[in-house]
Structure 1
Amino acid sequence: MAEDAKPLLIKRYASRRLYNTETSDYVTLDDIARFIRDGREVQIVDLKSGDDLTRQYLLQIIAEHESRGESVLPVNVLTDLVRSYTSQAGSVVPQFLQMSFDMLRDGQSQMMENMAKVNPMAKLPGFEAMQAQQEAFMKAMTSGMPGAGQGAGGATGQGGDSSGDDEDLEEIKRQLAELQSKLSKMNK
C-alpha cells in the first residue's frame, strides 16, 4: 500500500504522448482513467517545463466520457459550473462541491457498511470489488479539489454520536445560506 500512497507519475512529452514512469511505456487517456478507477492517484507533468497538467487531463477524460453519452453531470450542473467561472462566487463553488462529494462518499461508505451487516448479498463474490470500485470512483471524482482526501468534518467515523452529525448539518446549512446570499447579491 505504501507504493499506492505516492501518485503514479505520467510524463507528457513534446509529442503529447504520455509516458508511465513506473512501467516505462506509453499510455492513453483510457489507461489513466483505469488507473484512477483502480484507486491510484495520478500526476501528469510536462517533461520540458515541469508544469502539472493533471487537472487538464482529468477534465479531458470527463469530457470524452460525456461526449460518448456516458453522462454523469446534468446540463444544469454543467451550466452552473460555467457560471461559477465567470462569477465572484467562484471561490465558494469549489468548497461546496468538495463538501458535497465528501458527504456523498461518506454516505456511500456508511450505506455499504450497513449493507454488509444486514444484507446476505454482501457475502456474494464480487461484492467487495464493487465496494472498492465505488470508493475509487469517489476518490477520483474528488481528487484535485481543495481538501481532497479529508473527511467531511471531524465527526465522521465516531460511532453512533449524532451530535457531530447535527453540527455537520448545521455547518452545511450555514455555508449554503452564505452561498445563496452571495448569489442573490450578484443578481442585483
Structure 2
Amino acid sequence: MAAEKKTYDKTATLLIKRYASRRLYNTETSDYVTLEDIAGFIREGRDVQIVDLKSGDDLTRQYLLQIIAEHESRGESVLPLNVLTDLVRSYTTDIQSVVPQFLAQSFEMLRHGQEQVMQNFGTSLPGFEALQAQQEAFLKAMTGGLGSGLGSNWTAPKAEAAAEGKEDLGEIKKQLAELQDKLSKLQ
C-alpha cells in the first residue's frame, strides 16, 4: 500500500502551536518545526501564526523578531544599523503610531514594485526573448548527451547548432551584463 501524499492549502495561514516545553508544532503536518523552518515557510510566501497552546496568546511577532535577531547574530545584515536605531527610537517617542504604518506601506510598495518588474521583465527589456532563445540553445548544446531526462520533445543538437551556441556565448554574456545593469538601475 503506497503512502498517500497530502496536499495543503498554501494560501491558508499556517498555524504553529507552542507547547509548554517551548517546542513549536506545525498543525498542518503534525510535526515539530524550528525557527529556520518557519522562516522557510514565510520565504515561500506562507502566512504564519504562532500561538501559545495553553493561553492562546498570539506569539507571532515575538517569533518573527527572534528570526530576524538570529539572522543578525549570524552576520546576515537584515536591516541597516540606522534603521534599527530609528526603530528603537520610535518606541520612545510620540510618533510610534506612525512608524509601523509607514514600514508596512513601504514594504507593500516594495513588493508591488518587484511584482511589476517581474511581470514587465519580458516585455519591457529589448532583446529579452532573443536572450531566452539563446540561453535555451546554449543549454541544449551543453547537455548534448543528457536527452533522456529532459522530456520527450528534446532532441540532441546538431553539430551546427552546437557551433552556433558556442559563437553566441559571447553575445549571451554581453546581453546578460546589459540586463544586470538595467536591473540594478531599476532597484
TM range (shorter): 0.5 to 0.7
* TM-score of the aligned structures, taking structure 2 as reference length: 0.62
- Structure 1 residue ranges without an equivalent (≥5): 126-188
Point out 4+ residue stretches in structure 1 off by more than 4 angstroms.
121-125
Q: CA deviation at 1:111?
A: 1.3
Match of 1:69 among 60, 72, 75: 75
For 1:122 and 1:95, locate their aligned partners in 2 and report how far apart those are by CA, in whole Å: 40
Q: CA deviation at 1:86?
A: 0.7
Match of 2:12 among 6, 22, 42: 6
For 2:11 and 2:114, locate their aligned partners in 1 and report how far apart those are by CA, in whole Å: 23
Give me the CA root mean square deviation: 2.1
- Structure 2 residue ranges without an equivalent (≥5): 1-6, 137-187
For 1:53 and 1:85, locate their aligned partners in 2 and report how far apart those are by CA, in whole Å: 19
Q: 1:122 to 1:58 in 2, by over 3 A?
A: farther
The residue type equivalent to 2:61 in the other structure is: R
**Percent identity for Structure 1 against Structure 2:** 73
Query: Where does residue 35 of structure 1 map in the other structure?
Result: 41
Query: Where does residue 85 of structure 2 map in the other structure?
Result: 79
Q: For CA contacts below 8 A with separation 6 or more, give which structure has more relative contact order.
A: 1
For 1:63 and 1:99, locate their aligned partners in 2 and report how far apart those are by CA, in whole Å: 22
Q: 1:98 to 1:51 in 2, by over 3 A?
A: same
Match of 1:92 among 98, 117, 131: 98
Q: What does 1:93-172 correspond to in 2, within 5 Å?
A: 93-117=99-123, 118=125, 119-120=128-129
Tell me the number of residue pairs that the alignment of Structure 1 and Structure 2 aligns: 125
The residue type equivalent to 2:9 in the other structure is: E
Query: Where does residue 154 of structure 1 map in the other structure?
Result: none
Q: Is the 8 A contact 2:8 2:28 kept in 1?
A: no
Query: Where does residue 23 of structure 1 map in the other structure?
Result: 29
Q: Is the 8 A contact 1:115 1:122 kept in 2?
A: no
Q: Is the 8 A contact 1:46 1:52 kept in 2?
A: yes
